[in-house]
Amino acid sequence: MGMRKIWSKELILIVLISIIASMLGGCDRAQEQQKEAAPTPTVMLEEATRVPTQVPEAIEEKPVYPMQLGTVEIHQELVYSEDFENSQTDVLGRGAAKVILQSNQFYEGTSSLIVTGRTAIWNGATIDLTKTLVVGESYQVEAYVMYENGPDTIQFDCKVEKNSSEYLNFASNIAKLGEWTLLTGSIIIPEGTTSASVYFETTIGGNGIDFIDFYVDEIKITKEDVTASRGELPSLKRVYEDRYSIGVAATVNEITEPRKQLISEQFNSLTPGNELKPDSLLDYAACTSDAKFNDNPQVNFSRVDPLFQFCKENQIAMRGHVLVWHSQTPRWFFAEGYSMEAQAPLVSKDLMQKRLENYIKNVLEYTQNNYPGMIYAWDVVNEAINPSDGEEGGYRSKDSLWYQVMGPEFVEKAFEYARKYAAPEIKLFYNDYNTEDSARMLAICDLVEGLKAKGLIDGIGLQTHISSDHPSLIDIESSMREYGEFGLEIQITELDMGMVDNTEEAYMHQATRYKRLFTLFKHLDDTGAANITNITFWGLSDDISWLSKPGVPSYPLLFDQYLIQKPAFWAVILSEDIPLY
């Protein structure tokens, strides 16, 4: 990949400090992706010997931004409660489930509600609160659940059913057999909500026991009126306007006041969190309505149109995420006749290639015709590399139907079709996670090299889901220099910094690491080692982060649950009030 460029004395100091700080960590990664092992302290100390001796010109002086922390006033109002101590309840069975008042089990008082007769995971207990829950308002829920028979642990969820068609997370936790467990969480009722029910269910129980009976007790739903003052904040997009765009990921349900205002003030790029993924766009009813669509998948943009409208009104550009991904793409998309049967045979390679081309064509034509100039870049292929699967070239194969049906050439075909149908100004990216891992980096470089040789790729997306201690900045720097050698655009596409501690000390530790990271980005950009054109945070505030697990919240972003700036915000703009060590 060529010679690495020379570091400044300031960066050398930062990197050496980061080596010590990164000895403790482990990197968060959710869903199907595996945790990458942290390097040992011995390896990290050995890495320090790679520091070059020559020094480039000094980094330019940065503006001074004194740190200000906002204030919050919270007023709570109980809007619904049910302790099941009366002979009647408005909590009903959901689906096939039946609900019965019971006096032999309870968390408090003398009775609770048992949910029985379930024949599906989603069967549970539900309350219609359409007249209680108000659009744009914030609510907290507390409830206790328990089960007496089944696996040792099981996940319980409390959700809001919006308009009888969408299901929004309210609270989750892992319960132990025979123990009452608290579910607690919060939600903002999104715009467009015309009906809302709160319901309780379990995830898959395991061990063949999926539809266990369970108890519910002491349900309380509280409305929160929050008066928050952030003071006068510098705008991230203004601070970096001469360097790179600053983006945020958001879903339609997160575009509520005052989030709209904060997003429009701080960011000039937005990535839809889910709404441009295949499982959101593919229209099953239309696909199966006529045999002529067997090779021409039909799409529906009703879920993402509100995000386009928001971006249009606020002059925010959009990153398209994502055209081709092994996850969040339904199996029926690969099946003969678009069958939903679990064992339905998969289509031939030739037919899948036609579906791939037409899907990309339909998505790009809709977005370009209806919102011309709004999408400036597409993640064409996401996470196609997974060296642990053992395939030549490091391709992901075990959980990728794209690979299983089309082989490794699906990546090149996706870029070929995207280049064919995309407007000339739209940049095409390959996007992946844990891109500082050496085996993954080498495979990505081989992939990108082939695509670049054919003129099919404009940039590399580095997700950068990291923790407050891992990976080391040396690994991040080294990999970014390698990718930078291609001369393509580099974008940090899904940045967050996982952390399960929300103490003042932990926030400052996180802020220090954010400042080191952005100092590194600045140096790489200044020296031409990496052509960074965008940095996108994967979420606006901690309370909606995908990193939070049931019962274990994470605090990875720049704003807290009340949209008050954390020290990490000031770190990102390189405030002198945030130390580098």
What residues are labeled active site?
383, 494
- Write the single-letter amino acid at 435: T
| Rounded Cα gap, residues 573 and 402, in angstroms | 40
- 244-262 burial code (b ≥16 CB/10 A, e <16): bbbbbbbbbbbbbeebbeb
CB 542 within 8 A of CB 561: yes
Of the candidates 541, 538, 540, 455, which has an alpha carbon nearest to the alpha carbon of residue 491?
538
| Rounded Cα gap, residues 142 and 230, in angstroms | 28
**Residue that is written with structure tokens 């960011």 in the block:** 267
- Write the single-letter amino acid at 545: S
Which two tokens mark 317? 């550009």
Return the ∠ at Cα 451 (arms to 450 and 456), rounded to 5°. Answer: 155
Largest CA distance in the chain: 81
| Rounded Cα gap, residues 46 and 197, in angstroms | 57
Beta bridge partners of 246: 535
**Residue that is written with structure tokens 């001796």 in the block:** 53
| Rounded Cα gap, residues 191 and 128, in angstroms | 18
The torsion of the CA quartet 456, 460, 463, 467, rounded to 10 degrees, works out to 160
How many C-beta atoms lie closer than 10 Å to residue 365's C-beta?
12
Beta bridge partners of 133: none
Return the ∠ at Cα 227 (arms to 221 and 232), rounded to 5°. Answer: 145
Of the candidates 415, 356, 409, 406, which has an alpha carbon nearest to the alpha carbon of residue 380?
415
How many C-beta atoms lie closer than 10 Å to residue 502's C-beta?
15
The pair phi, psi for residue 325, each rounded to 5°, is: -150, 145
- Would you give the DSSP letter of residue 437? S
